[in-house]
Amino acid sequence: MPRTVRDVVFVDGVRTPFGKAGPKGIYHETRADDLVVKAIRELLRRNPGLDPKKIDEVAIAATTQIGDQGLTLGRTAGILAGLPQSVPGYSIDRMCAGALTAVTTTAGSIAFGAYDAVIAGGVEHMGRHPMGEGVDPNPRFVSEKLVDESALFMGMTAENLHDRYPQITKLRADEYAVRSQEKAAKAYANGKIQQDLVPISVRRTNPEGGETGWGLVTADEPMRPGTTLENLQSLKTPFRVHGRVTAGNAAGLNDGATASIIASEDFARENNLPVKMRLVSYAFAGVEPEVMGYGPIPATEKALAKAGLSISDIGLFEINEAFAVQVLAFLDHYGIADDDERVNQYGGAIAFGHPLASSGVRLMTQLARQFEEQPHVRYGLTTMCVGFGMGATVIWENPHFEGDK
Amino acid sequence: MSTTAELLKQASDLFPDEVVTSAHVRHFDLPFGAGRFALITLDNGLDHTKPTTFGPASLANLDAAIDQVEKEAADGDIVGVGITGKPFIFAVGADLKGVELLKEHEHALAIGKGGHEVFKRLAKLAVPTFTYYNGAAMGGGVEVGLHCTYRTVSKAIPAFSLPEVFLGLVPGWGGCTLLPNLIGADKAVSVIIENSLNQNKQLKGQQVFDLGIADAIFEGADFLEQSLLWTAQVLKGDVTVERPVIDRGEAWDQAVAKGRFIADGKVHGAAPAAYRALDIIAAARNEDLQQGFDAEDQALADLIMGGELRAGIYAFNLVQKRGKRPAGAPDKNLARPVTKVGVVGAGLMASQLALLFLRRLEVPVVLTDIDQERVDKGVGYVHAEIDKLLGKGRINQDKANRLKALVTGVLDKAEGFADADFVIEAVFEEIGVKQQVFAEVEAVAPAHAILATNTSSLSVTEMASKLKHPERVVGFHFFNPVAVLPLLEIVRGEKTDDASLATAFAVAKKLKKTAVLVKDAPAFVVNRILTRFMGEIQNVIDEGTPVEVAEKAVEPLGLPMSPLVLLELVGPAIGLHVSETLHGAFPDRFTVSPNLKAVVEAGKRGFYVYDSGKPELDPEVAALLKQGDTVLTEEQVRARVLDAVAQEIGLMLDEGVVAEAQDIDLCLITGAGWPFHLGGITPYLDREGVSERVNGKKFLAPGVASVPA
């Protein structure tokens, strides 16, 4: 049987506003599955051209797949969202790159011809499921020194990355973080972010968190507009005495969900669905777990090589800001300035938050908006570091590209 | 303190045990830049199994919340106010426990006014108000929303109603006045009168929208988000709510007339609530809301101080509470599992029982009878009924296959019952036959198997007397039609042990029946009272009172049907048989009517012909009647009948047939369909002075089903 690889496109993506994990967070009394269900429903409302019966798969990522993030979330979320029972679903885990992997895995299946259109997304409610909940690492990791003990603690791996690149100082990291907050605030002021947010109703019964009763969340909770360098310099370095990583130059612990529609380009065009980005290549790479923040570099190398592109072809970058140091390591590697305007134009996870397995689709949704606005850009990439020593990169082509004018 | 606050404070002092609902106010910005919004959440702090209600302190909380948003609205701090409920529940109306405690007309009036005064404020805020019916909404819960400018409803709502008339009240916090003005009198009559009197039928979300009660409907998954987005669009003017113009002409009168027709058909003028509600609906045509609210207050107060409502609440609690936790039932942990059921007999009753056990227990059910043809007919009946359920979409094909595979028929009891845990007989009502059947079953069934009898009038003790193990025999008396009437009289024989009885109650619960424990006394409860009642009607006819007079005499009770129509439904032959049995037991009180005997012997199935569309005495029956010359008035007949019933119930309680008068009433409500406004019957007998006249005392303490002293 002859096969043709098909072009795969990013049709649309949405997300819930992100919340702060913990008892005072906006989603403290909201279930994780409800978050992703509401994102899926919004996605379908926004794209009436997509007949739900034609959805071939629902791939939902979560890092901690127990409780309301368990029970084969892709399947249960599909049913809860009101998709026809004939639509199947499954769960995905690649820690922080969960949603990104949901996209690439289903995209591979679309290119192969197994699917025409899918829902791919992720959710992480770090308030209900703190990082490391229920884990049971094999003792051989330590006894055989397979990984350094710090590999399990993401903040420590970020400190390790600072060690590897002494030129990335705390000051550079803090300055980067201040810019991220500034760019995010500006993006909000210009309405760039809200257009892809799904309002979420939230209940509060404990008055310590604020007014009780039902409320409506329409904006990211973690944002700290107006953050100054002075503010950041006073923060503690919880992962190492006299360290460099602080709550200010890293993403926080967050709750949130994302969802996207991925389809073959032919299907999207036949069904009058938007084509926001065209998939060029993707790659994952492993690195030493104790410097997992290095991961985006080899992953990007692989993805560029597969695409036959060089870094100079990339006009827009969406890099997940788990830690400022990890972004800076990437930029240094490619000789890109810390404040290069192609990078994270709307700000990043340091401002918005990083609910682990959901973040990949946030990067894509933002890149897609930037493509729309910047038709002179042909290629962009989304990349992120992944716990236990990995990196993940997806290269996208701008379908609005107007050629070299 | 405002007058309203004082009023509510006084009312809440009378009701210290109220489960208080909070009214949380939370502010946020609406989407689309529509502005700042205040959302009130009604929440009693308990989970969805304890629905939110409105007692006086709860109303005071809502009043205080409105104080807050009223000021914010006036100051221009907010653009709108919304109300919603806790998960799965909006609000289910007034707290009936508080209503039961009220002793004074003045206090009752305050309840009505209190609700009105608070709810009315919603309509007077400086900004539009929105109700989001997110979950179950009843009574005052529905009404609070009617005072708002706009309403949305969740498609997932399972229950939405104005059940006041069902209980003996009127929707008195604006329902009678506002609903017809919102959706027209005809639809309002359907909701307020027809649904209430139709066993308190509930509306689903879609119907709430289709009726026009809600302006928008959204799915349950993101109901509140979509409601708030819609709110933002309405406030910005992007969405305009259009409601159909209401016909305030002749259609209004027709609707009210329709309501009266429905009420007459159900309560025959015997209970005032529906008529009071209709009066207010009729007056609502002129759009004078305050006049309507005042009329609601008066109606509420009058009804709260009236016996019908107290009897209604009593009856409601009997069915909802006592019916679910039967008095005198042994510890449920003693119950043995029932994994297979045997049915002796394959006639119509036996087949109906087989179907019921099959559907509710979903275990193998084996029918036996004396020849293959009867067995096949019985199994065929069950299969046909399963197909009917399938055809109506009540069950799917898989379930139909499963149920059909579970029902079998055999001739050999040894083959059928060797592993049965519960065997019920429904053979001919003759003690010798039944004893024989049980002996055969005992010989082949496991030692632990319950032997149950559906006898309506024979002694369970006697039936068990010849067995080696009489301790496992119980009476299991269903009422016809088995699928409709909830009552199951569970009869304890002299030797019945606790484990067998507990098993019987456990099975009854699975069958979703209202089980009442009764002593092994002739005809148990319902048939004994109905037979005494009918016997007295027949006596006065036999003595010379015209049939119509005897029939009309008990109309003011508002029974579901007249005595002779009931006799027709039961079957004159069966009625005669039961009266003979009871005459044998109590010859001085139970007579056997010679006229009834003549009717049965003539092979007549009833007393009436319906050729004209209305029941008229069958001339052939009229020709059979031999009457004396004592002609009583309706009042005299009614007094005689009620005296007889009061006497019989008094004697039954003395004999210990049931634990309390409450069980008698529960039996009459669930086994004979006697109405809520009578509270079964003993509240009515107490109220009308019959109990004291006959027995020298009331059946129930003051306050149990009446205004407390």
Contact residues on chain A for B228, CB-CB shorter than 8 A: 199, 201, 216
The reply to whether B629 and B514 lie within a common domain is no
Does residue A211 register a pLDDT over 80? yes
The total domain count for chain A is 2
CB contact under 8 A, B228 and A216: yes
Query: Distance from B64 to chain A by nearest Cα, in Å?
Result: 15
The reply to whether A166 and A118 lie within a common domain is no
- For chain A, give the percent of residues with pLDDT over 70: 100
Does residue B1 register a pLDDT over 60? no
pLDDT in tens, B521-567: 999 999 999 999 999 999 999 999 999 999 999 998 999 889 999 99
Task: Provide the pLDDT for residue A142.
Answer: 87
Pairing of strands A19-20, A8-15: unpaired
Q: What's the CA angle centered on A17, arms A12 and A20, to 5 degrees?
A: 145
Average pLDDT over residues A333-340: 98
The reply to whether A80 and A23 lie within a common domain is yes
Does residue B38 register a pLDDT over 60? yes
The reply to whether B198 and B282 lie within a common domain is yes
Task: Provide the pLDDT for residue A24.
Answer: 94
Specify if B312 maps to a domain: no
The alpha helices in B318-453, defined as continuous H runs, are 348-361, 372-391, 397-406, 413-417, 431-444
Do you know the residue count of chain B?
709
pLDDT in tens, B398-441: 999 999 999 999 999 999 999 999 999 999 889 999 999 999 99
Contact residues on chain B for A200, CB-CB shorter than 8 A: 225
The reply to whether A223 and A339 lie within a common domain is yes
The reply to whether A24 and A62 lie within a common domain is yes
pLDDT in tens, B95-120: 888 888 888 898 888 888 999 999 99
What is the C-alpha to C-alpha distance for residues B369 and B365, in angstroms, rounded to an integer? Answer: 14
What's the CATH number where B41 sits?
3.90.226.10
**At CB < 8 Å, which residues of chain A contact B?**
37-38, 41-42, 80-82, 198-201, 203-205, 210-218
In the structure encoding, which two tokens stand for residue B298, read together? 């008066």
B124 and chain A in contact, CB less than 8 A:
no
Grade residue A203 by pLDDT with cuts at 50, 70 and 90. very high
Task: Provide the pLDDT for residue A404.
Answer: 64
Specify if B248 maps to a domain: yes
Specify if B323 maps to a domain: no
Query: Distance from B130 to chain A by nearest Cα, in Å?
Result: 14
The reply to whether A272 and A345 lie within a common domain is no
The reply to whether B179 and B73 lie within a common domain is yes
What's the CATH number where A55 sits?
3.40.47.10
Specify if B678 maps to a domain: no
Q: Is A376 a catalytic residue?
A: no
Q: What's the CA angle centered on B61, arms B55 and B62, to 5 degrees?
A: 90
Q: Which of B502, B519, B536 corresponds to the end of one domain?
A: B519
Contact residues on chain A for B155, CB-CB shorter than 8 A: none
The reply to whether B11 and B79 lie within a common domain is yes
CB contact under 8 A, A200 and B39: no
pLDDT in tens, B654-689: 999 999 999 999 999 999 999 999 999 999 999 999
Task: Provide the pLDDT for residue B61.
Answer: 96
Q: Which of B637, B656, B675 corresponds to the end of one domain?
A: B656
Compute the half-sphere exposure of residue A53: CA atoms within 13 Å on the CB side of its CA.
Answer: 0
A82: nearest CB among B27, B31, B221: B221
The reply to whether B273 and B405 lie within a common domain is no
**What sign has the CA pseudo-torsion A24, A30, A33, A38?**
negative
Specify if A404 maps to a domain: no
Average pLDDT over residues B624-646: 96
Q: What's the CA angle centered on B186, arms B180 and B192, to 5 degrees?
A: 65
Can you give the residue range of the structural domain that contains A14? 8-128+253-278
What is the C-alpha to C-alpha distance for residues B487 and B508, in angstroms, rounded to an integer? Answer: 10
CB contact under 8 A, A213 and B221: no
Task: Provide the pLDDT for residue B242.
Answer: 94
Specify if A138 maps to a domain: no
Query: Distance from A201 to chain B by nearest Cα, in Å?
Result: 6
Which helix (H) or strand (E) covers residue B474, if one does? strand B473-478
Contact residues on chain A for B28, CB-CB shorter than 8 A: 215-218
The reply to whether B273 and B389 lie within a common domain is no
The reply to whether B66 and B147 lie within a common domain is yes
Q: Which of A263, A278, A293 corresponds to the end of one domain?
A: A278
Can you give the residue range of the structural domain that contains B619? 526-656
The reply to whether A262 and A286 lie within a common domain is no
Task: Provide the pLDDT for residue A405.
Answer: 54
The reply to whether A229 and A347 lie within a common domain is yes
A-B contacts (CB, under 8 Å): 66
The total domain count for chain B is 3
Task: Provide the pLDDT for residue A221.
Answer: 97
Q: Which of B279, B301, B323 corresponds to the end of one domain?
A: B301
The reply to whether B260 and B135 lie within a common domain is yes
B691 and chain A in contact, CB less than 8 A:
no
Grade residue A114 by pLDDT with cuts at 50, 70 and 90. very high
Specify if B564 maps to a domain: yes
Does residue B79 register a pLDDT over 60? yes
In the structure encoding, which two tokens stand for residue A99, read together? 């949603």
The reply to whether A186 and A291 lie within a common domain is yes
Does residue B187 register a pLDDT over 90? yes
Phi, psi for A118 (deg, rounded to 5): -140, 165
Task: Provide the pLDDT for residue B9.
Answer: 85
The reply to whether A242 and A266 lie within a common domain is no
* Residues 51-110 of chain B whose Cβ lies under 8 A from any Cβ of chain A: 84, 86-87
The reply to whether B485 and B424 lie within a common domain is yes
Compute the half-sphere exposure of residue B362: CA atoms within 13 Å on the CB side of its CA.
Answer: 7
The reply to whether B508 and B530 lie within a common domain is no
Q: What's the CA angle centered on B440, arms B435 and B445, to 5 degrees?
A: 120
The reply to whether A299 and A261 lie within a common domain is no
What's the CATH number where B417 sits?
3.40.50.720
Task: Provide the pLDDT for residue B2.
Answer: 62
What's the CATH number where B551 sits?
1.10.1040.50
The reply to whether A27 and A162 lie within a common domain is no
Task: Provide the pLDDT for residue B708.
Answer: 87
Average pLDDT over residues B482-488: 92
The reply to whether B38 and B90 lie within a common domain is yes
B396 and chain A in contact, CB less than 8 A:
no
Whether the Cβ atoms of residue B148 and residue B131 lie closer than 8 Å to each other = yes
Q: What is the DSSP letter of B87?
A: T
Mean pLDDT of chain B: 94
Specify if B458 maps to a domain: yes
Which helix (H) or strand (E) covers residue B151, if one does? strand B150-154
The reply to whether B146 and B266 lie within a common domain is yes
Residue A82, phi-psi category: left (phi > 0), alpha (psi -120 to 50), beta (remainder): left
Sheet hosting strand B341-344, strand order edge to edge: B407-410, B365-368, B341-344, B422-425, B450-453, B473-478, B487-492, B514-519
- For chain B, give the percent of residues with pLDDT over 70: 100
Which helix (H) or strand (E) covers residue B262, if one does? helix B250-267
The reply to whether A200 and A230 lie within a common domain is yes
Specify if A306 maps to a domain: yes
pLDDT in tens, A282-316: 999 999 999 999 999 999 999 999 999 999 999 99
